[in-house]
Structure 1
């Protein structure tokens, strides 16, 4: 019986997918796997028996990835599961920036008790007039699951769309509307777009990428939308651009001490993936990832270990071995197994950065001696017998 601990409220549609052989536990120390959304795990002491963490969402900055990797704890996320919810909010953000809808609604609330409100509306509405997004140019930085949906939707709304992503996947390229013009350098997108939206992960190479120099290349009066991570934008530079009018509006899904006080900023309380559908999709995907790994050792959508799939287990036993990505590890593993009479029926080894993962189907029973011998190999982090 596998035990799963939920660090946040996880949609029932997801926990129901765990099925027989699983039970939920309130105690982290008893957990074989963890389901988490936004709760921070950096300060926690991770139990020795923990094998997997699944983030019901895309970002994993709340999880200590390297520590988990060194303990052989697979960390999953759910890319694309909340993409439609984020896409729809990006479109809403563009419309809020194009027309002063929020200001108009606020005026109506403030004048709700005025018997002349209907008459005054006809005079006042000119103050909330805006522009249409049809015919304008949207620049999409990052053409992953969300970026592609945003680009395609904007095309359907009559916008011209530029896309920039030097690492676009084959799937992303196939799904992208053929009318979206892909550019090979970011400067072109910055210089030609009326609206710009960013959809890239927060990494050392992307943090602060929208800085004063990048903003300086934008059109006068550009609208910039950030529904990815606040760390991608140098918000002090953005505040200065809003003050000068270089940027007309900064639409952000990340309230913080600086963004909430910016002139002409439209700040949303982190609602990108806050839809019933997105929460259910993420929970279901996370539960399936956990089951696939715990029951078969196969890994998909991990952020600290490589993708690997040996299919359903058909041999006597299956071994999952986490180790450093260094020369001769496979040789040492296979030699160790051979020396104690274990024949390898099928094997796959993949690496991701400094970490690697071997999945081995053996034709004979695996006992504790085999596990101990493998664990004794220098550079092996963890050995798990699937069955």
Structure 2
């Protein structure tokens, strides 16, 4: 029986994906094959020798020590796109809050609870409503930084609202490019986008390459009065630079984000939400289901989809065969050394796949018959091999 340890509260729909006859799932498992979690930080957690994979029910994986896990041959999954619609809808709310005096208007109305006469209140509001006037989104320009699953959905939504959309993504994948509406104008660099956009929305992951990408230098290019939306990660903006830009006559007009911090509080030009971008029942269910399915596919068949540290690999199992998978340092000669052991022992390889990503390589081999323990032990002792698994039919 396979074992999966859970952290945080995982949606029941995700937990129900695991067949009870084959999986033991719970928060008190000591020697799991897989880990399923949301935001729990694993950096200070001891990693059990039995762990094969970790699935984060969400997009960001900064709560997982990727380098350490990769060196151990542990595959880390995330769930890109599962919460995209939830974030997209909150971005729409952010755009509307940034374009009109909705929040200040509501606060003003709530301050009038001393008035008891409806006619008097109506007359006062008619006189004061001009204080909360704003602009329509229609015809304005939205700059989308990061054109992946969420960014492409936001771009499509903005086009449907009659906005013009410019986009920038230095790491745009082929799949993302196919999803992107053809009316999105691609910008060559971030500075060009910032100088064009009335509204800017960020949808990039938190990586070393994106840390503080919105900073004093990049904000020099911003269109005066532009609204900046950050529903991605707090680490991609330099908060002091945001405040300085808001206080400059030629800088930002408003900052709308999902990541409050003390220096942003008490400002009329900041709308800060309590990290609720993916906080919908539907998003949590979608993330949990995707994460569970990816764990099971890897544990049972060795296939990898949506990993952040291993290559994508999907090979249908040859009928009647035993499957061997192994991870190794991405150096030449390792696969040849493994295959030579099979040749010496008359183990017939029916099908195989080899993929690499960065410093790690991953291999699937379907063999005609189950190799004995001596052969598997020799595979594990091949230089640069990190881990070996045997997956019977």
**TM-score higher than 0.5:** yes
1:134 has 2:135 as partner: no
CA distance in structure 2 between the partners assigned to 1:302 and 1:157 by the alignment: 34
Structure 1 residue 33: deviation in Å?
Answer: 1.0
SS of 2:303's partner is coil
Q: Where in structure 1 do 4 or more consecutive aligned residues deviate above 4 Å?
A: none
**Partner SS, residue 29 of structure 1:** coil
Separation of aligned partners in 1, 2:31 and 2:6: 12
Q: Deviations over 1:187-219 (max 9, x none)?
A: 221111101111111222211111111111111
- Unpaired segments ≥5 residues, structure 1: none
Say yes or no: does 1:316 pair with 2:321: yes
Q: Which residue of 255, 270, 293 maps to 2:260?
A: 255
Find the counterpart in structure 2 of residue 301 from structure 1.
Answer: 306
Counterpart for residue 121 of structure 1:
125
Whether contact under 8 Å (1:42, 1:62) holds in the other structure is: yes
Q: How does 1:101-250 map to 2 (within 5 A)?
A: 101-116=102-117, 117-245=121-249, 246-250=251-255
Q: Structure 2: how far apart are the matches of 1:227 and 1:382?
A: 38
Q: Which moved more, 1:45-54 or 1:304-313?
A: 304-313
**CA deviation map 1:93-119 (0-9, x unaligned):** 111111121112222223234214443
Sort the Cα spacing of 1:267 and 1:336 in 2 relative to 1 into closer, same or farther, 3 A: same
Aligned-pair CA distance for 1:91: 1.0
Q: Which residues of 2 match residues 45-60 of structure 1 at below 5 A?
A: 45-60=46-61
What is the number of equivalent residue pairs in this alignment? 387
Residue 10 (structure 2) pairs with residue 5 (structure 1): no
**Aligned counterparts of 2:128 and 2:375: Cα–Cα separation in 1:** 80
**Contiguous gaps of at least 5 residues in structure 2:** none
Q: Is the 8 A contact 1:86 1:146 kept in 2?
A: yes
SS in 1 for 2:288: helix
Asked if 1:353 corresponds to 2:353, the answer is: no
Cα contact 1:316–1:362 (8 A) shared by 2: yes
Q: What's the TM-score once normalised by structure 2's chain length?
A: 0.95
Contact 2:318 2:351 in 1 (8 A): no
CA-CA distance at 1:386 after TM superposition: 1.2
C-alpha separation between the residues in 1 aligned to 2:349 and 2:238? 53
Q: Does 1:76 align with 2:77?
A: yes
Greater shift in the superposed pair: 333-342 or 224-233: 333-342
Aligned to 1:364: 369
SS at match of 1:18: coil
Match in the other structure for 1:338:
343
